[in-house]
Amino acid sequence: MATDRKAIQGKKQGVRQPKTGNAKHTVRIIGGQWKRTPVAVVDGKGLRPTPERVRETLFNWLKHLLGGSFAGLTCLDMFAGTGALGLEAASRGFQHVTMIEKNWTAVKQLQTVQSKLNAWQVEILRGDALTLSKTMIVLGKRFDLICLDPPFHDHLLPEVLPVCVKLLAGQGLVYVESDEAVTEHLLEAYGMKGVFQIVREGRAGQVYYHLLRQV
């Protein structure tokens, strides 16, 4: 009760109360030419940046699987959100990174970061990921790495993975974040048995992350 009285007295006396729930925070790019660069995280439904230690693990996997260099490779960050994955890829040497995001506030933030870093190897597209991806298939676009971190509550993986098959170049890789483990049984349920092989997997709290290779 004493705490409540102090808060009430503070308001009456014009004392500024601390804001809660909408404080800005940032994530850092953790490797490459923009290492340690902070990226602001905007508030938005389903926007959930990939944690630093998960990104570090992912790019260690990729470095091993892709021969130690990302030069000449292309990446599609299909649900870009804060851009943590796509910017990390560009920072570490991917030749071209395409980001898709439908949240206008997030898109504007991505454009701000792109301009700040002169990251013109990054292409930012605003719109629905599935719609734009299907257009890219028609245009013959292909990617060496596709990052999938869709809003968990939308359960989009069964619909998105078949699209990835048509967007991957050769022995392309798909990175997947999910609120459940992607297993061989689950891939079979999605109709992806014999299409993708799980080559790496991990877990951070309630988030499962995986690297799939096209068979």
Residue ranges of E strands in the chain: 25-28, 38-41, 74-77, 96-101, 122-126, 143-148, 168-178, 196-204, 207-214
Provide the pLDDT for residue 26.
87
Rounded to an integer, the average pLDDT of 141-168 is 93
- How are the residues of the chain apportioned to helix, strand and coil, as percentages rounded to the nearest 5? 35, 25, 35
- What pTM was estimated for this model as a whole? 0.86
Dihedral angle over CA of 111, 112, 118, 121, nearest 10: -20
Average pLDDT in the chain: 87
Task: Tell me the two tokens of residue 116.
Answer: 């700040």
Lowest-confidence segment of 7-11, 113-117, 144-148 by average pLDDT: 7-11
Q: Which domain CATH number covers 183?
A: 3.40.50.150
Is residue 175 predicted with pLDDT exceeding 60?
Answer: yes
Crossing angle (nearest 10°) for helices 52-65 and 84-91: 50
- What is the domain extent for residue 101? 2-214
Cα gap 211→53, rounded to integer Å: 15
Tally of domains within the chain? 1
Quote the CA–CA distance of 164 and 76 in Å, as a whole number.
10
Give 21-64 pLDDT, tens digit per residue.
333 588 899 999 999 999 888 776 666 788 899 999 999 999 99
pLDDT of 7 > 50? The answer is no
Range with the poorest average pLDDT among 11-15, 57-61, 64-68, 90-94: 11-15
